[in-house]
Amino acid sequence: MQDREIEHLFRGSATAPTQGLPGQPPFTTRPELCGTFGMVASTHWLGTAAGMAILEKGGNAFDAAVATGLALQVVEPSMAGPAGDAPVILYDAKKDNVSVICGQGGAPAGATVAAYRHLGLDIIPGAGLLPLVVPGAFGAFMTLLRDWGSLRLRDVMEPAISHARNGYPIAARVVATIDSLKELFVEHWPSSAAVYCPGGNVPKANDLFTNPVLADTFERILSEAEAAGSSREQQIDAACEAFYRGFVAGAVGRFCRDNEFLDTSGHRHSGFLSGDDMARWSARVEAPLSLDYDDYTIFKCGPWSQGPVLLQQLALLRGFDIASLDPDGPDLVHLVTECAKLAFADREKFYGDPDFVDVPISILLSEEYNAARRALIGETASGEIQPGTIPGYGGPVIYGLEDGQRYAVSEDGTAAPLSAPSPAVSIATGDTVHLDVADRFGNLVSITPSGGWLRSSPTIPDLGFALSNRGQIFTLDEGTPGCIAPGKRPRTTLSPGFAMRHGKPYMAFGTPGADRQDQWALQFLLRHIHHGQNLQQAVDAPTFNTSHFPGSFYPKRAALKSLSLEGRFSDDTVAELRRRGHVVSVGEAWSQGRMCAVAHDGHLLKAAATARNTQGYAFGR
């Protein structure tokens, strides 16, 4: 062999090509992570780091998830807080079982329709003390740690305590939220101002931000827990005791009873939530709902959440050849939007806490029912809210429009105006965080913590955190499945997800986004299942959503025919959707959703997290 031939064989290339390699996927904002040890994906890099540190310490996915969730409640206070809510869906590899932990607290004993009507209200305020429910996140985390975890309470609490005590670089999005609330805090919620804008000063992005009162609260919980006994189970139970029946519950009860604060009704009110309400509540382990779709089985929480909406959208879409449609084209966007309108109309008519409402979930997910619903989908955008009819089930669907007029959709499908207008004042809600974890033992877990946002209610000065205002999802309209009642869970928007593939545990996934969670998660699934996109491709792909149904949050308005697109859809797609009658708005290129996902794919673990808002991150090895 000649010297030049030998040189050619060994020379290679100093710069490897970035395109055209066999098996090389298209460019994504981050790589789809692959490894064998463990994966954590969350909506903030510090949460992901906390979870990964726990895996490196020898903990399992459930230990890591609790550490991640607690850390997120500290570093994303505009998205979630320690007294918020946190539905959990998990796969236990040892038992080969999928379970749900209901981390959604119920309404206080004093929160009746009559009590709100006595205050002159037709709708529950969106912020303040009146929409408070029992905080469920802490109980859900402790249940997960005690029954599925392996490490001690101190191990999983230390990252959150460190961030609260020693500080963390506060994100620009949190700073923007504080700045928008500065007047409310300084003039009406002084305990919140003391934490987030002391002296009237809003922090700057990446300032080292501390919450020493919250650190003290966590450390007292930990101290009381460790004093209760030597076993990890004893300590975790004692932590729950301190939170729900001890000093935390006492401070919550006094704060709600002894104070009145301005809320979105325009008036000052005290609250119904008491220490006794906290003492009566505990997190519950439940069976998930599921639906077979293609080679997958998708699992969601029950109809006390909006999770079944994703399943019903899939049931509707089973009648169409999704793989043949361009994922960025107008045909798919139109079809998915029209299916969402039907499923969310059914959410409003039928869903509620199954302890109080008989929800016909097997019918709602059946092929026969969805074949009839599917027939309503036409070539143009529907302009009415169209819930289905199931004799003996459901109630009127009530919604407001931008002009303040309220309507009720009756059983025959007609929308009649109601005499009481909806409030003219609207506020931005908080957002949500999300996390997914996979470990080398085969476990997977998905959690969507939210509530207790810094804008939800005033900060409790003795504790350093706010309370969950998810009670605003309830209605005061008797006969609707979402009507408030003592102990009843609001039909939460929080919706973690899990999937099996070919009958084997595969993926945990989810996103923040209120009513849009199960729209964006659906689009992620469709791209991954039908269009061969890997996790990161499907996370990065442009998204869309509709608000053509009553919004879950105050003031519960619907935007008929609405369709919001990220700015990366083509002009031709936008024009065609408008031609079909959709009221299209085009936003920024990277503006919708904060999807995360982890997966067990054969011998590999995989993970992805959105680059939107420059906070989410996945990590693993």
Tokens 């209200």 found at: 121
Query: What is the average per-residue pLDDT within 408-419?
Result: 83
Q: How does pLDDT run across 508-538, given as a tens digit for each residue?
A: 999 999 999 999 999 999 999 999 999 999 9
Assign 388 a pLDDT band (cuts: 50, 70, 90).
Answer: very high
- Looking at residue 17, its pLDDT comes to 46
pLDDT at 8 over 70: no
Q: What is the rounded distance in angstroms from the CA atom of residue 564 to the CA atom of residue 67?
A: 35
Reading the block at residue 521, the tokens are: 């998660």
pTM, 2 dp? 0.95
pLDDT at 369 over 90: yes
Assign 23 a pLDDT band (cuts: 50, 70, 90).
Answer: low
- Looking at residue 411, its pLDDT comes to 78
pLDDT at 427 over 50: yes
DSSP 281: -
Q: What is the rounded distance in angstroms from the CA atom of residue 61 to the CA atom of residue 49?
A: 13
Q: What is the rounded distance in angstroms from the CA atom of residue 414 to the CA atom of residue 603?
A: 54
Percent of the chain at pLDDT exceeding 70: 95
pLDDT at 15 over 90: no
If one counts every other C-beta atom within 10 angstroms of the C-beta of residue 31, the result is 12
Reading the block at residue 351, the tokens are: 């869903």
Assign 16 a pLDDT band (cuts: 50, 70, 90).
Answer: very low
Nearest CA to 403 among 380, 382, 427, 421? 421
The answer to which of 41-45, 100-104, 417-421, 456-460 has the lowest mean pLDDT is 417-421
Query: What average pLDDT does the chain have?
Result: 94
Q: How does pLDDT run across 221-247, given as a tens digit for each residue?
A: 999 999 999 999 999 999 999 999 999
SS3 499: strand
Assign 25 a pLDDT band (cuts: 50, 70, 90).
Answer: confident
pLDDT at 195 over 60: yes
Reading the block at residue 517, the tokens are: 């969670």
Identify any residues that bridge with 557 across adjacent strands, giving them in sequence order. Answer: 400
User: Of all helices (H) and strands (E), which one includes residue 584?
Assistant: strand 583-586
- Taking a C-beta distance cutoff of 8 angstroms, is the pair 446, 87 a contact? no
- Taking a C-beta distance cutoff of 8 angstroms, is the pair 436, 511 a contact? no
**Torsion angle, CA of 318/323/328/329, rounded to 10 degrees?**
-80
Domains and CATH numbers, the chain: 44-167+210-304+307-311+424-620 (3.60.20.40)
Q: What is the rounded distance in angstroms from the CA atom of residue 428 to the CA atom of residue 422?
A: 16
Q: For residue 555, say if its preceding peptide bond is cis, omega within 30 degrees of 0.
A: yes
Query: What is the average per-residue pLDDT within 105-110?
Result: 98
SS3 239: helix
74 Cβ contact list (under 8 Å, min separation 6) = 82, 160, 163, 164, 168, 211, 214
pLDDT at 375 over 70: yes
- Looking at residue 1, its pLDDT comes to 54
Q: How does pLDDT run across 247-299, given as a tens digit for each residue?
A: 999 999 999 999 999 999 999 999 999 999 999 999 999 999 999 999 999 99
Reading the block at residue 342, the tokens are: 């039907």
258 Cβ contact list (under 8 Å, min separation 6) = 270
pLDDT at 60 over 80: yes
Tokens 């987030």 found at: 196
- Taking a C-beta distance cutoff of 8 angstroms, is the pair 411, 387 a contact? no
Assign 410 a pLDDT band (cuts: 50, 70, 90).
Answer: confident
- Looking at residue 26, its pLDDT comes to 82
pLDDT at 48 over 60: yes
- Taking a C-beta distance cutoff of 8 angstroms, is the pair 197, 186 a contact? yes
What per-residue string of b and e applies to 277-304 under the rule 16 or more CB within 10 Å gives b? bbebbebbebebbbbebbebbbbbbbbb
Assign 404 a pLDDT band (cuts: 50, 70, 90).
Answer: confident
Q: Which spans in 351-397 are helix H? A: 361-364, 367-374
Assign 403 a pLDDT band (cuts: 50, 70, 90).
Answer: confident
Question: What is the number of residues in the chain?
Answer: 621
- Looking at residue 319, its pLDDT comes to 92
Query: What is the average per-residue pLDDT within 364-386?
Result: 97
Query: What is the average per-residue pLDDT within 19-34?
Result: 80
Residue type at 152?
Answer: R
Strand order in the sheet with 544-545: 544-545, 562-565, 583-586
Residue type at 431?
Answer: D
Q: What is the rounded distance in angstroms from the CA atom of residue 134 to the CA atom of residue 604?
A: 40
- Taking a C-beta distance cutoff of 8 angstroms, is the pair 123, 476 a contact? yes
Q: Are strands 562-565 and 583-586 parallel, antiparallel or unpaired?
A: parallel
Reading the block at residue 173, the tokens are: 């999005």
Query: What is the average per-residue pLDDT within 139-149?
Result: 98
Q: What is the rounded distance in angstroms from the CA atom of residue 552 to the CA atom of residue 167?
A: 34
Q: How does pLDDT run across 471-521, given as a tens digit for each residue?
A: 999 999 999 999 999 999 999 999 999 999 999 999 999 999 999 999 999
Assign 356 a pLDDT band (cuts: 50, 70, 90).
Answer: very high
543 Cβ contact list (under 8 Å, min separation 6) = 519, 520, 523, 566, 592, 593
If one counts every other C-beta atom within 10 angstroms of the C-beta of residue 384, the result is 14
Q: Dmax over Cα atoms in the chain, in whole Å?
A: 97
- Looking at residue 420, its pLDDT comes to 63
pLDDT at 426 over 70: no
Reading the block at residue 85, the tokens are: 């809510």
